[in-house]
Structure 1
Amino acid sequence: MHMAIPYPADAFYQTHEGQICAALLRERLQWFWPDLRGQRVLGLGYAAPYLGAWRGRGALCISARTPDHWPDMERGLDRTRAASFERDCVVDPYALPFDEETFDRIVLVHACTEPDQMVPLLRSAGRVLKDDGRVLMIVPSRLAGRIRQRHTPFARDVAFSRSGLRTVLGHAMLLAERRDEALFLPTRQGCASVRRGRRSDIAGKVLSPGLGSVMLVEAVKNVFSGTLLPARSPTTWFKKIIYPVPEAASQKSGVPPEGAARMPET
């Protein structure tokens, strides 16, 4: 079967369908975080179209692109034109050039295409996230999410099931708190207009919950996810009979245990 090659992120979000898709998802982002005045927001991956949900509303928004989303001059693309966001930079996602606990919120979208790199990416994001901060991931669903969005950059992203994403977040010392889903129809049908996209998403949540093409998951730092120390197994009554405790054995024989102080003889 012929598989369509997905658009690069830069090209997709300049199309009509891409702009409608970003507008629909921005509405869901505002539902999660309606007011971020005075807070620092990091968009990791290719998040510039989504940071518009809080741009100009008192939040400091920084778009940190991964290298695969930075245009290549050899392909005839202008980097200056591509960096349309005023605070746009390219970073190594596994070694973010920011101090620890810098950001209040992190939006992660189009940031990873390899499943085994997701945990290092999330741990890197968690390092620059404040202890009371929150991460919002936008990832395709494993239930045919990438197939339905095969003409979009979501077709390249790592797809997850709910249980699989919960496991990955646990390994990254994060805990999912709230969820949402969107884009129940392929982009060419569901993103013809904002009104049509809203109606299709509402109908999808009522008629087929859990079958959205894209999952939105909000996570926080899990303070109880540290590695547990090995616990010493309790000594059973059977082991006590076969291997008596030295102190107990010495009391029966009348001989003080080794290293114990002896009473002076009178």
Structure 2
Amino acid sequence: MHKAIPSSADAFYQTHEGQTCAALLRERLQWFWPDLRGQRVLGLGYAGPYLGAWRGRGALCISARTPDHRPESANAQTSMPFSACDRECVVDPYALPFDEDAFDRIVLVHACAEEDQMVPLLRAAGRVLKDDGRLLMILPNRLGGRLRQKNTPFAQDVACSRTGLRTMLGHAMLLAERRDEALFLPARQACTSMGRGRRSDIAGKVLSPGLGSLMLVEAVKDVFSGTPLPVRSPRTWFKKMLCPAQETATQKSGGPPEGASRIPET
């Protein structure tokens, strides 16, 4: 009989399945960003288990927990394997206590449970992200992602489709560039070992692409989203047909076309 997987993030990532899940996703994060030496990385939400992808490799990693993931006690915090090496704090995710353009990379995971709060959250993250920085989100797929990962922290996160996420990022003045997916099977089955997790993800990408439980989406700032464009009234098909007819009638009558200057006779 399988042991129940806890839904809280602190408890989940202390289980064997949670640690294997974090290890599998860290491999995908390293595929996105293999070398971050000398860069500042912010983990927003509950990203401590994933910052190990670059911890100890020359990157400054800061874990910013949201209030939903506040440590229950000091003993609980120090018992986590990733907390001892992290600079960790609890923040208001919609008013981050960091300077503008403070981070080169941001990892967002387990950060929001309500869809209508995603755009303010992404805008707050974009404020502290450098202009040439990159943001990486780990979100459940709307196509059954939360259902397959029930009783894990991913079941409480906002689930998005590709189209919905593209719209959401556009409202936050961000643009998706690269995508990946993971955990095609429930964590209880896929995360029993690293080998099984890798094999199930490879098979899922071949046999059922787009149906992974989790989406990994890398986004950058969309510098053109705030550029005002000139507004021109569209010409209907009737006006397009009428204007050439009027010009032809004017030329036949001997008069100059509209806007042309008459040359005086000498």
Greater CA deviation, 55-64 or 219-228? 219-228
Query: Cα gap change, 1:154/1:124 in structure 2, threshold over 3 Å: closer, same or farther?
Result: same
Letter in 2 for 1:92: D
Aligned twin of 1:203: 203
* Cα-to-partner distance string for 1:131-181 (whole Å, 9 max, x where unaligned): 000000000000000000002100000000011100100000000000000
Q: Is the 8 A contact 2:5 2:12 kept in 1?
A: no
- The alpha carbon displacement at 1:85 in A equals 4.6
Aligned twin of 2:133: 133
Q: Distance in 2 between matches of 1:141 and 1:94?
A: 23
Q: Distance in 2 between matches of 1:221 and 1:185?
A: 32
Q: Is the 8 A contact 1:48 1:85 kept in 2?
A: no
Q: Distance in 2 between matches of 1:11 and 1:5?
A: 9
Aligned twin of 1:65: 65
Q: Is the 8 A contact 1:67 1:91 kept in 2?
A: yes
Q: Is the 8 A contact 1:36 1:54 kept in 2?
A: yes
Aligned twin of 2:173: 173
Aligned twin of 1:264: none
Q: Is the 8 A contact 1:101 1:127 kept in 2?
A: yes
Tell me the TM-score normalised to structure 1 length: 0.83
The gaps in structure 2 that reach 5 residues or longer are: 247-257, 262-266
Letter in 2 for 1:100: E
- The alpha carbon displacement at 1:42 in A equals 0.2
Count of residues in correspondence between the two structures: 239
The gaps in structure 1 that reach 5 residues or longer are: 242-247, 252-266
Letter in 2 for 1:65: R
Aligned twin of 1:100: 100
Aligned twin of 1:115: 115
Letter in 2 for 1:132: D
Aligned twin of 2:187: 187
Q: Distance in 2 between matches of 1:124 and 1:23?
A: 28
- The alpha carbon displacement at 1:41 in A equals 0.2
Q: Distance in 2 between matches of 1:89 and 1:126?
A: 19
- The alpha carbon displacement at 1:105 in A equals 0.2
- Match runs of 1:145-184 below 5 Å: 145-184=145-184
Q: Distance in 2 between matches of 1:63 and 1:185?
A: 28
Query: Cα gap change, 1:234/1:119 in structure 2, threshold over 3 Å: closer, same or farther?
Result: closer
Aligned twin of 1:13: 13
Tell me the TM-score normalised to structure 2 length: 0.83
Aligned-residue CA RMSD (Å): 2.5
Letter in 2 for 1:55: R
* Cα-to-partner distance string for 1:195-216 (whole Å, 9 max, x where unaligned): 1000000000001100000000
* Cα-to-partner distance string for 1:217-260 (whole Å, 9 max, x where unaligned): 00000011116356253897989x9xxxxxx9xx9xxxxxxxxx
- The alpha carbon displacement at 1:7 in A equals 1.3
- The alpha carbon displacement at 1:72 in A equals 3.6
Q: Distance in 2 between matches of 1:167 and 1:177?
A: 14
- Match runs of 1:19-58 below 5 Å: 19-58=19-58
* Cα-to-partner distance string for 1:19-52 (whole Å, 9 max, x where unaligned): 0000000000000000000000000000000000
Letter in 1 for 2:25: L
- The alpha carbon displacement at 1:84 in A equals 4.1
Q: Distance in 1 between matches of 2:65 and 2:218?
A: 20
Aligned-residue identity in percent: 78
Aligned twin of 1:260: none
Q: Distance in 1 between matches of 2:23 and 2:77?
A: 24
Q: Is the 8 A contact 2:61 2:86 kept in 1?
A: no
- The alpha carbon displacement at 1:77 in A equals 7.1
